Structure 1
Amino acid sequence: MLKTLLPRRLLGGTSVGWIDSEIHEWLQEKQVERDMRHGPSRGWGL
């Protein structure tokens, strides 16, 4: 995750915007991992 934080911040996104997008992408990655681990029926709940 940290590898993707730095370049986007350097590209000049607004602080809130890039934090929100990073969190959103991180949550999506976690959901995909959970989906693969538990199956689609349970994998997408937060």
Structure 2
Amino acid sequence: MVIPSKLTHLEGLLNLFHDSAAGGYSGVPRTYRCIAANYYWKGMKKTAGLC
């Protein structure tokens, strides 16, 4: 699913994947891969802290 990079809830989406009970804290690269499997937005790596 492609979502707008200016979406006001991006931080919430990142926190949801980062803090999920199923995954727990898995580090930035693993959290990024989980999000990228379902979502995309322009500048995604930068937003996730990988750049």
Whose radius of gyration is greater, 1 or 2? 1
TM-score, normalized by length of structure 2? 0.33
TM-score, normalized by length of structure 1? 0.35
Higher RCO (CA < 8 A, seq sep 6+): 2
Greater helix share, structure number: 1
